[in-house]
A and B are shown apart, each in its own frame.
Chain A
Amino acid sequence: DGGITQSPKYLFRKEGQNVTLSCEQNLNHDAMYWYRQDPGQGLRLIYYSQIVNDFQKGDIAEGYSVSREKKESFPLTVTSAQKNPTAFYLCASSFLGQPLSSGNTIYFGEGSWLTVV
């Protein structure tokens, strides 16, 4: 089945550790995104990538890093520089370049819960 797979579902991080969240999609989408969700809040964009080996900062990129070595994969590393990393992280993907009249919807994975211990 086509979709977006995030792993792990639950992750615990110790102070000062870097952790990496995996995101894989088999939808042949061009663009991939990482969002952060805090309780009672909407989603905020961390990073996005439109093509392989290229990515752009979103609204809250500080303390995070990404790579896009393959079209299907867009891992997110939460570094020790991120002072408040406890949150729900959602990966998403979409096609690009669709005409206005057609759908260019962003689809989301099931999310990963990160907790600092």
Chain B
Amino acid sequence: AQKVTQAQTEISVVEKEDVTLDCVYETRDTTYYLFWYKQPPSGELVFLIRRNSFDEQNEISGRYSWNFQKSTSSFNFTITASQVVDSAVYFCALSEAGHGGSQGNLIFGKGTKLSVKP
């Protein structure tokens, strides 16, 4: 069965601290996709990154970095030197290629609420 677990419900840090958001997934497929989305208070989900199961390279984008490890079924997200504007709920999601190719059957974790205090 597919499942995404974000064990951290809420995290609070002070500005400029580094913070890592954990994501652990379960799937039986060998081909799958992993996503991170940011949901600010306005409600819209903002796409951050998409990873396919064959690409285990870690990625860095500015202050954001992602660590994908198939051996532990984890796809963790680190924000370096956090800022107040990073305050949001962050969702990790899984999509399996077998779902009609639509990639719309995203399985979401319950999200981690990050609060960055000045």
Contact = CB atoms under 8 A, between A and B. Distances in A.
A64 to B, nearest CB: 16
A76 to B, nearest CB: 14
Nearest to A104: B103
B52 A100 contact: yes
B44 A111 contact: yes
Given A43-B91, A100-B31, A105-B35, A50 B47 contact: no
B5 to A, nearest CB: 10
Contact of B109 (A42, A58, A113): A42
Given A50-B102, A90-B45, A100 B54 contact: yes
A2 interface: no
Contacts of B9: 40
Contacts of A97: 101
Interface in B82-118: 91, 93, 97, 100-111
B110 A41 contact: yes
Q: Tell me whether chain B's interface is mostly helix, strand or loop, or mixed.
A: loop
B43 A106 contact: no
A92 B18 CA distance: 31
Nearest to B44: A110
Interface of A: 31, 33, 35, 40-45, 48, 50, 56, 58, 88, 90, 92, 94, 96-97, 100-101, 103-111, 113
28 contacts: A31-B102, A33-B104, A40-B110, A40-B111, A42-B108, A42-B110, A43-B93, A45-B104, A45-B106, A50-B100, A50-B102, A56-B100, A92-B45, A94-B104, A96-B101, A96-B102, A100-B97, A101-B52, A103-B50, A104-B103, A105-B47, A106-B35, A106-B104, A107-B47, A108-B44, A108-B45, A108-B46, A110-B44
